[in-house]
Amino acid sequence: MDFIIAKYNYWIYIILMMIGFYAMIAKNNLIKKIIGMNIFQTAIILFFVSIAYKKGDATLPILTYADAHGAHAIRAAQYMNPLPHVLMLTAIVVSIATLGVALAIAIMMYKKYHTLEEDEILKAIK
């Protein structure tokens, strides 16, 4: 039971992922599907940032510094990896762009079919 409580943030991400997945699969309204996709993407981003977090005295991966005599020494420290954070910044930008394009397509579909319900749009296409 302590393991479940200690990892509460992961359970929150799983719940968010399932809410987004449910909205994408079960809803017929295109806007609700788009918002579900955005919730799913956000949960994944939060998950990756969470697993990249280091507790304690972590420092940037700069390996050398000069001491008083000008000699370079390597500090023995716990280094954090900046790569997951950089990748998640890229994922945030892609998520925003995906949301914008999806909403623009939804607006175009509404103008053409006068509805955002998936079933009605599929009937109009056939």
Report pLDDT for 47. 93
Q: What pTM was computed for the model?
A: 0.78
pLDDT tens by residue, 67-78: 556 555 555 456
Residue ranges of domains in the chain: 2-125
Cα distances (angstroms) measured from residue 74 to each of 43, 71, 85: 37, 10, 24
Buried (b) or exposed (e) across 104-121, using 16+ Cβ within 10 A? eebeebeeeeeebeeeeb
- Written as one letter, the residue type at 91 is A
Give 31-41 pLDDT, tens digit per residue: 999 999 999 99
- 74-94 pLDDT, tens digit each: 554 566 777 888 899 999 999
Mean pLDDT estimate for the chain: 86
Fold of 2-125: Helix Hairpins (1.10.287)
